[in-house]
Structure 1
Amino acid sequence: MPIISALTLYPIKSCAGISLQTATLTEAGLSHQTLRDREWMLIDSNNQFLTQREYPRMALLQPELADEKLMLHAPDMPALEIGLIPATPGTLVQVQVWDDLVPAYDCGATAASWLTRFLGVNCRLVRSHPSSQRCANPKWTGDIKVPALFSDGYPLLLISSASLEDLNQRLLAQGRAAVPMDRFRPNIVIDGVEAFEEDYAEVLIIHKTNAAQQSIQLQPVKPCPRCPIPAVDQASAEVGPNPVDILQSYRSNPLLEGAVTFGMNTIVRQGAGQTIAVGDALELQLAF
């Protein structure tokens, strides 16, 4: 029986995640208490978003939810407190996320100074504005309007542990080290399916035990093209050989003009507002 084996929420785009036992589903992704996935983001002096692609030390920025506050930790730095409900909203700015220009709140000079000091590049922290209309590409969502906040483009990334095991067997066969799942930064990891079976899922259904609740339906909509980030050790921020070069030999996807894909971008078709948990059983319905 397929099950959910891990849940991870990434409050700040391209920074470390928070491992969860339970999470609430929203149309824009996972949430937990007052935190939403990829609700915050770092920007440079031109208001362009920053990621581990250019700044691998972002992997060492570890958020923590404590006493209704978001604390940000980094090596050799005092903790940074980020207000979840600021007394006064920050300055409204327009920020660039890939091809989208969207409104955001600037989180202030203290956060900017702390992050600039740690990363060694002039940067600021921003938070998604409620008026933002950024959405996933309707080409892949079936013209369903799906909010995306600051994610690369979709609210959820789902990967099976069997897919990672398949990759690791190939890495080991070539004398290379296996890699952990966090190199690929999924929100949801599932067990109990064959390698890459998630690629062919039409829908994943979680049946709720409470008869008053609807079944939850998650729909994988687009294979996830991989970038340089899997080369970054998420524990040390060291950049090593990219496992994507192994994937290149067997995961080139004609649907994306030959891009190497690993994992599935996923949307919530039914069940927004409901809770999912590690250990929840899934019914995986294939598209053929």
Structure 2
Amino acid sequence: MKEYKLSEIYIYPVKSLAGISLNSAFVEMEGLRFDRRWMVVDKNNIFLTQRTNPQMVLINTEIKKDRLELSHKTKKMPKLFIPFAMHSQETATVKIFNDEVQASFVSDETDQWLSSTIGTKCRLVVLSDNNKRYVNKKYAHNNETVSFADGFPFLIMGQSSLDLLNSKLEEKLPTNRFRPNFVFTGGHAHDEDNWKIIKIGKTIFDVVKPCARCVITTVDQNCGVKHKEPLLTLSKYRKQGNKILFGQNLIARSLGFVNLEDEIEILEYKRDQDSF
């Protein structure tokens, strides 16, 4: 019997800013607690990401007891403190891919700080509890919701999958290039392609869709510089149609904590025709 263990946990409080490595996280239906609860939008209220603004990764995020803190890795700027309850009365319909959702702006001070730091006029929004964004009905089981993640609440990838990729590259890449929520050890490369239902610790997840990778994987998450890899190499052995697949998207069936070293139990496998 293969043994899989949870080896890394990440959240990204503000979409496309730097992530945070955790020892433990609470699973909520829309994602890990505090994961992508905030998002940067442009003057037209359309989401901004590293796809067009790779320098966004130079902004560090920290979660404290009652607030989110932002700081820049290289620029000498004061830290920005954003209490969890902070948002203005101003709301707007913001666009993320094909979804439109009602969100609240945080504050003028926050917008000025981010605009100066990123180098383009932008604003920070937060998704309130009253406004829901739904997972694509094609993959949802029970009207599951998602925060400001690209499309699904959770993303998992195997260390063995990354090891296989790195064996084909001149310069090895860390897991943060793929911005996962969960990384696991054990088994073989891309075992996760064959999973349908899994349990991490005591929490059950449906494995609903392979993750189609974008140019953000080519951005060095430490310095914001773009490269050709890993998409160039992945396209040679992980391409399906016009998509490059790496990792799996999940939705949760239950709430609860997940912890490093939690065992991952495979409750059900996909049928052969459903696999990559």
> Taking structure 2 as the reference length, what is the TM-score of the superposition?
0.93
Any idea what the Cα deviations from partners look like across 1:118-176, whole Å, max 9, x if unmatched? 111000000002222311112123x42110111100000000100000100011xxxx2
Q: Does 1:179 align with 2:198?
A: no
Q: Does 1:73 align with 2:67?
A: no
Q: Does 1:249 align with 2:236?
A: yes
Distance in 1 between residues matched to 2:217 and 2:113, nearest whole Å: 26
Distance in 2 between residues matched to 1:206 and 1:122, nearest whole Å: 41
Distance in 2 between residues matched to 1:280 and 1:259, nearest whole Å: 31
Among candidates 175, 181, 189, match of residue 183 of structure 2: 189
Which residues in structure 2 correspond to 1:26-175 (within 5 Å)?
26-31=28-33, 36-74=34-72, 75-76=74-75, 77-86=77-86, 89-141=88-140, 143-171=141-169
Equivalent residue, structure 2, for 1:216: 203
Distance in 2 between residues matched to 1:184 and 1:125, nearest whole Å: 23
Among candidates 176, 196, 200, match of residue 194 of structure 2: 200
Q: Does 1:225 align with 2:212?
A: yes
How many residues are paired up? 266
Distance in 1 between residues matched to 2:228 and 2:199, nearest whole Å: 36
3-state SS of paired residue (2:263): coil
The Cα shift of 1:67 comes to 4.0
Equivalent residue, structure 2, for 1:263: 247
3-state SS of paired residue (1:138): coil
The Cα shift of 1:206 comes to 3.4
Distance in 1 between residues matched to 2:242 and 2:194, nearest whole Å: 18
Any idea what the Cα deviations from partners look like across 1:78-116, whole Å, max 9, x if unmatched? 101111123x64411110011111111101110111111
Distance in 1 between residues matched to 2:236 and 2:139, nearest whole Å: 25
Distance in 2 between residues matched to 1:223 and 1:202, nearest whole Å: 11
Among candidates 233, 248, 257, match of residue 275 of structure 1: 257
Identity of aligned residues (%): 35
Superposed CA RMSD: 1.3
Distance 1:131 1:68, change over 3 A: closer
Distance in 1 between residues matched to 2:190 and 2:25, nearest whole Å: 24
The Cα shift of 1:66 comes to 2.5
Kept in 1: contact 2:45–2:94 (CA 8 A): yes
Distance in 2 between residues matched to 1:126 and 1:17, nearest whole Å: 18
Distance in 2 between residues matched to 1:43 and 1:148, nearest whole Å: 18
Structure 1: gaps of 5 or more residues: 208-214
Distance in 1 between residues matched to 2:97 and 2:244, nearest whole Å: 19
Any idea what the Cα deviations from partners look like across 1:31-78, whole Å, max 9, x if unmatched? 1xxxx2111000000000000000001111111123422110112221
Distance in 1 between residues matched to 2:145 and 2:172, nearest whole Å: 34
Kept in 2: contact 1:228–1:242 (CA 8 A): no
The Cα shift of 1:16 comes to 0.9
The Cα shift of 1:242 comes to 2.5
Distance in 2 between residues matched to 1:129 and 1:65, nearest whole Å: 18
Question: Structure 1 runs of 4+ off > 4 angstroms?
Answer: none
Equivalent residue, structure 2, for 1:212: none
